[in-house]
Amino acid sequence: MDQDSHCTAERELLEAVSRITTSSTTSPSDEEENEPKAEISCQVRKENPEKDDTQDSSATLSPNSSMTTKELQEYWRNEKRQCKQIKLLFEIPSTRIVEHHLSKYVMYKIIILQTGSFDSNKSIIERRYSDFEKLHRNLLEEFSEELEDVTFPKKTLTGNFTEEIINERKLAFKDYLRLLYSMKYIRRSKKFIDFLTRPELQEAYGCLRGGQYTKALEILLEVIGLQERLTRGNPVAIVPTLCAIVVCHKDLENPASAFEYGEKALSRLCVHTSHRYYMPLLETMIALAYELGKDFLSLQEKLEEWKTKKDPVRVFTLKELAVREYVR
């Protein structure tokens, strides 16, 4: 091999090594690279949430260049959490028979646990047979193929309140929930999430509309953890609940707690500034920051920036938006 050929080969080798080194230090691992993409593609293919309740149609996955360092850190923290799959376990340890006027039914106590967590992370709800039946009927409309081989416990004309039938259904419903949760598209579907959270949220918002802020706050704080775990791939979905908690704390004269939950909601909207809650939340946060002696100028700048980009339209206050949620 002559000298020129030798130099050329050596130079090509050095360039190849450089490319490999650069790639290994800057590229994410296969697992990190593929997991978020799977999360996003699943949402696009199988979910069709309402535009206002989820995300701005013009929003991208890139953080806004005008975000502060703290907001950027919170944004990437949320993005990182989205990539981690949370596994939930379902247990039905007990039941109770309810007699109400002319009706009689069995309530099944459902405990939802996060694997590897302490008892503080568990959620407890109650559902009756007709609730499970409605869920199954609704899921069949969208996931008939996935549920083709799933057997749902049928109603019986007699014996529905015998210990034997109740115990059989406890086991059947536990297996049913576990099976549904094991199916990626179903566990992310609005119908499945609504089954586990909507009754409690409806009760909470009913209390909020009635001025029972303490009771509403108690329920909202119970359900927010479960709602967050169920909607991990879509953090914007829990913004209405976070804002309802802000409203309750504010009306109960707990401005510090209201501001804390407002920051959590705002961090989820940093790239979704067309969301219907964005401007009302900013206005509330400015008022809270002023009351608490915090810096509100950056929030004020965001509000002014938003106003210059949007056509002047009637905007509800945060409380007015909250009381309109879950109105039957």
Once rounded to an integer, what is the mean pLDDT over residues 235-240?
Answer: 95
Cα Rg, the chain, nearest whole Å? 25
Q: Residue 136: which of 156, 155, 123, 162 has the closest Cα?
A: 155
* pLDDT for 15 beyond 70: no
Once rounded to an integer, what is the mean pLDDT over residues 13-29?
Answer: 41
Strands (E), 55-102: 88-100
Query: Where does residue 189 rank: exposed (0-12), middle (13-18), buried (19+ CB within 10 A)?
Result: buried
Whether the Cβ atoms of residue 115 and residue 102 lie closer than 8 Å to each other: no
Structure tokens at 8: 């050329």
Q: Residue 320: which of 293, 283, 267, 270 has the closest Cα?
A: 283
Handedness of CA 287, 290, 294, 300 (dihedral sign): positive
Whether the Cβ atoms of residue 190 and residue 49 lie closer than 8 Å to each other: yes
Sorted by where each begins, the domain ranges of the chain are 88-188, 199-324
Once rounded to an integer, what is the mean pLDDT over residues 213-235?
Answer: 94
pLDDT at 121: 76
Question: What does the alpha-carbon distance between residue 34 and residue 120 come to, in Å, rounded to a whole number?
Answer: 32
pLDDT at 313: 66
Write out pLDDT tens, residues 174-201: 999 999 999 999 999 999 999 999 999 9
pLDDT at 310: 72
pLDDT at 141: 95
Confidence of residue 33 (pLDDT cuts 50, 70, 90): very low
Structure tokens at 56: 């701005």
Domain at 199-324, CATH from 1.10.150.130, 3.40.50.10140, 3.40.50.300, 1.25.40.10: 1.25.40.10
Which class is domain 88-188? alpha beta
Once rounded to an integer, what is the mean pLDDT over residues 219-227?
Answer: 95
Write out pLDDT tens, residues 303-319: 998 888 876 666 799 99
Contacts of 52 (CB under 8 A, 6+ apart): 275, 276
End-to-end alpha-carbon separation of the chain, Å?
84
* pLDDT for 252 beyond 70: yes
pLDDT at 2: 47
Give the chain's mean pLDDT: 80
pLDDT at 126: 97
Bridge-partner residues for 97, per DSSP? 106
Residue indicated by tokens 């108690």: 218
pLDDT at 242: 98
Confidence of residue 35 (pLDDT cuts 50, 70, 90): very low
The pairing of strands 123-128 and 88-100 is unpaired
Query: Where does residue 216 rank: exposed (0-12), middle (13-18), buried (19+ CB within 10 A)?
Result: buried
